[in-house]
Structure 1
């Protein structure tokens, strides 16, 4: 669906099911003849090594699994 300004409108029921709140960034991906709508998840690198593999928030800070395990051992 589009509004009068040509913007894509996502029905409220679909937004509720996908847990997409107002103002939440989403992305549209093309897969052949299909369009995929998903929440935009910005990838954040580990603050120690800049790695992107298995990065999780550790006490609010993005760290990779290697550094997280190392920090847990220090405590």
Structure 2
């Protein structure tokens, strides 16, 4: 799934992001607002990891994204 789709539906996927990266706060996710580079930076900051590792985690998370993430409950 491409990042534009995730960004466009950010409010629906913030729960998935919090599940993956529990150290991110609601405020972090609001500020990030679907911007991939900002999300990578916050992951680096909160988890004390290198940029490459944060990008790797984001790539894996993005590859798991499915249409079911965007369905309304």
Q: In which range does the TM-score fall when normalised by the shorter chain?
A: under 0.3
Scaled by the length of structure 2, the TM-score of the pair is 0.24
Q: Which has the higher contact order (CA 8 A, sep 6+)?
A: 2
Scaled by the length of structure 1, the TM-score of the pair is 0.24
Q: Name which one, 1 or 2, has greater alpha-carbon Rg.
A: 1
